[in-house]
Every structure is written in structure tokens, then in C-alpha cells.
Amino acid sequence: MARKNNKQKKKAQHEFMLQKEQEQQQKKELKQQKKIEKEENKWIDDLDDLEIDSEEHVFGLKKKIKKDKKNKKTKKEV
């Protein structure tokens, strides 16, 4: 009877350790995924900070619009 109890205890301990290792692995994967997403968002934010020149046609007139996203200002030149 004592041997059965020891085997059951060892089996339970082993399962518990496996479960803990899986949880740690999942946490690592989530951290890495968040880090990758953060890097991607940083790259997108860097693109948004660049000055953008575009042309806009309004009522047949051609207007040149210069946007600076950092200062949130728009300059229009005719």
C-alpha cells in the first residue's frame, strides 16, 4: 500500500511540474509576442511621424498640402 501511495505522489508531483513548465513556456511566448507587437507598433509610429507631402484637387484647383504629424499642423500652399 505504501508503494502505491509513493508512486501516486511521484506521479502527481511529475504532472504538477509539467504543468508549471507549460505555464512558464506560455508566459514566455506571450512576452515575446507582446515585444514583437511593440516593435511593429513603434515602426508604424515612426512612419506616422514622417512629414507627408500630398496634392489635393479641390474645385479644379491644385493645392499642395504639407502635413507634420508631430506638431499636428497642416500647411496649405496655393
Separation of alpha carbons 78 and 71, rounded Å: 21
Separation of alpha carbons 56 and 61, rounded Å: 8
Q: Does the reported pTM lie above 0.75?
A: no
Domain hosting residue 19, numbered range: 2-77
State mean pLDDT over 19-40: 93
What are the C-alpha distances in Å from 1 to residues 4, 5, 6, 7, 54? 5, 6, 9, 10, 83
- pLDDT of 19 reads 96
Q: Which three cell numbers stand for residue 7?
A: 508512486
Our CA angle for 17, 12, 9, nearest 5°, is: 125
State mean pLDDT over 47-61: 54
The domain total for the chain is: 1
- pLDDT of 64 reads 56
